[in-house]
Amino acid sequence: MELGLKGRRALVLGASRGLGAAIAKSLVAEGATVIAAARSTDLIKAWAAELGPEYAAQIIPLALDLNDFTSVDSAADWVIAQGGVDILVNNSGGPPAGSVLQQTATLWQTHFQAMAGHVFHLTNRLIDGMLGQRWGRIISIASSGVEQPIPNLGLSNGIRMAVLGWSKTLASEVAAQGVTVNVVLPGRIHTDRVDQLDQGAATRQHKSVEDIAAASRATIPVGRYGTPQEFANVVTFLASDAASYVTGSTIRVDGGMIRSV
Ligand SMILES: NC(=O)c1ccc[n+]([C@@H]2O[C@H](COP(=O)([O-])OP(=O)(O)OC[C@H]3O[C@@H](n4cnc5c(N)ncnc54)[C@H](OP(=O)(O)O)[C@@H]3O)[C@@H](O)[C@H]2O)c1
C-alpha cells in the first residue's frame, strides 16, 4: 500500500526514545521529514546517527519541554517559521505512578499542562497551516487506561480522558477541511517507561520484576508486550493518505488487553 508520506513534514513529540522515537523513525523510513522533539536532543541525535547518513536531512532534532509554556510556544514559532507541518504526533512523558488520593491540586495542574493543556495549545498553533492546505493529521498518544483505568496510575487515567474529549471535539470541527484527528491507545508496549513501571510495582509488592512482568503478560491475550515498531506501524498508517477516512477515532494497540468491546 502506498502511504503517500514521501515529502510530508511531521512534528513528533517525545521522540527521543520509546514510542515517539519508533514513530519518528517509521515516518522517516516512509520518506517524511521529521522534526523530532524532546527535552534533550542527545538521544535523538544518537538514533539519527544509527539510521545512517542517508536519512540525516530528514531528521531535525528540536529541544522542547512540555512542562514549560514558553518552550512550547517558542517551538511553535520556530516550526511555523520553517513552513509548518502536515502531521503532528502528540506524545508526552508519562506522569508518576500513584493513587488518585495521593495527588495534590498542584500535581494535577502541573501534569495536566504537560500532557494536555500545552499540547492543545501547540496543536492550535500548528493546525492553521494544515487547514490552509486542506490536509493534516493530528495523532495523540494516550493509554489503555482511558478505557480500562490502570490501578495506581491516577494522574494518567484522569488527565488522558481530557485528551480524548478534546480530540473527539476537534475532529468534528476540522474534518471537512481535510484534517483528521485520532487517538491511539498503547496497552503494554515494551519501552523504558514500562520497565520503570514494572520495577516500581515489584518494589511496592515485594516481588521480582520478572514475576511482575510475567503477571502483566498473562493479562494480554497475545501473551507478550508489544514492540515499539508494532505501535509505530499503526500511527504511521493514521498519518498517511491511506487513512483519510479515519477521524474522531480511538484506536487500541494492546494485543487484546482491554477487556471491554
Ligand atoms: N509504553 C507503553 O506501553 C505505554 C502504555 C500506556 C501509555 N503510555 C504513554 O505513552 C507515552 C510514551 O510512552 P513511552 O513508553 O514511549 O515513554 P518513555 O519511554 O518514557 O518516553 C517518553 C518520551 O517523552 C519525552 N518527554 C518526557 N517528558 C517530557 C517533557 N516534559 N517535554 C517533552 N518531552 C518529554 C522523553 O524525552 P526527554 O526525557 O528527553 O524529554 C521521551 O522521549 C507516555 O505518556 C506513556 O505514559 C505508554
Q: Which amino acid is at 167?
A: S
**pTM of the predicted model, to two decimals?**
0.98
Percent above pLDDT 70 for the chain = 100
- The residue whose CA is least distant from atom 6 of ligand 1 is 143
Please give the distance, rounded to the nearest whole angstrom, from the Cα atom of residue 82 to the centre of ligand 1: 25
- List pLDDT tens digits, range 156-165: 999 999 999 9
Please give the distance, rounded to the nearest whole angstrom, from the Cα atom of residue 95 to the centre of ligand 1: 9
pLDDT band (50, 70, 90) for residue 68: very high
- The residue whose CA is least distant from atom 46 of ligand 1 is 94
Kindly list the protein residues whose Cβ atom lies closer than 6 A to any atom of ligand 1. 14-20, 38-40, 64-67, 91-94, 114, 141, 143, 186, 188-189, 191-194
pLDDT band (50, 70, 90) for residue 49: very high
- List pLDDT tens digits, range 73-90: 999 999 999 999 999 999
Half-sphere exposure of 119 (CA within 13 A, CB side): 31
CB 137 within 8 A of CB 236: no
Please give the distance, rounded to the nearest whole angstrom, from the Cα atom of residue 133 to the centre of ligand 1: 30
- The residue whose CA is least distant from atom 7 of ligand 1 is 143
Q: What is the pLDDT of residue 187?
A: 98
Please give the distance, rounded to the nearest whole angstrom, from the Cα atom of residue 191 to the centre of ligand 1: 9
CB 163 within 8 A of CB 249: no
CB 28 within 8 A of CB 4: no
With the most atoms of ligand 1 within 8 angstroms of its CB, the residue from 12, 193, 220, 251 to mutate is: 193
> How would you classify the pairing of strands 9-12 and 87-90?
parallel
Beta bridge partners of 40: none
Cα–Cα distances (Å) from 160 to 119, 206, 243, 252, in that order, read 12, 29, 24, 14
- List pLDDT tens digits, range 95-150: 999 999 999 999 999 999 999 999 999 999 999 999 999 999 999 999 999 999 99
Q: Please, what's the largest Cα pairwise distance for the chain?
A: 55
The rounded mean pLDDT for the chain is 97
Pick the closest to residue 66 from 167, 175, 141 (CA basis).
141
pLDDT band (50, 70, 90) for residue 217: very high
- Kindly state the DSSP code that residue 235 receives in the 8-state scheme: H
> How would you classify the pairing of strands 250-253 and 9-12?
unpaired
Class of residue 145 by CB neighbours under 10 A (exposed 0-12, middle 13-18, buried 19+): buried
For 155, the grid coordinates are: 494522574
Pick the closest to residue 8 from 247, 245, 241 (CA basis).
241
Q: What is the pLDDT of residue 206?
A: 96
With the most atoms of ligand 1 within 8 angstroms of its CB, the residue from 16, 122, 153 to mutate is: 16
Q: How many CB atoms lie within 10 A of CB 205?
A: 11
- The residue whose CA is least distant from atom 19 of ligand 1 is 18
- E strands, the chain, in order: 9-12, 33-38, 59-63, 87-90, 136-141, 179-186, 250-253
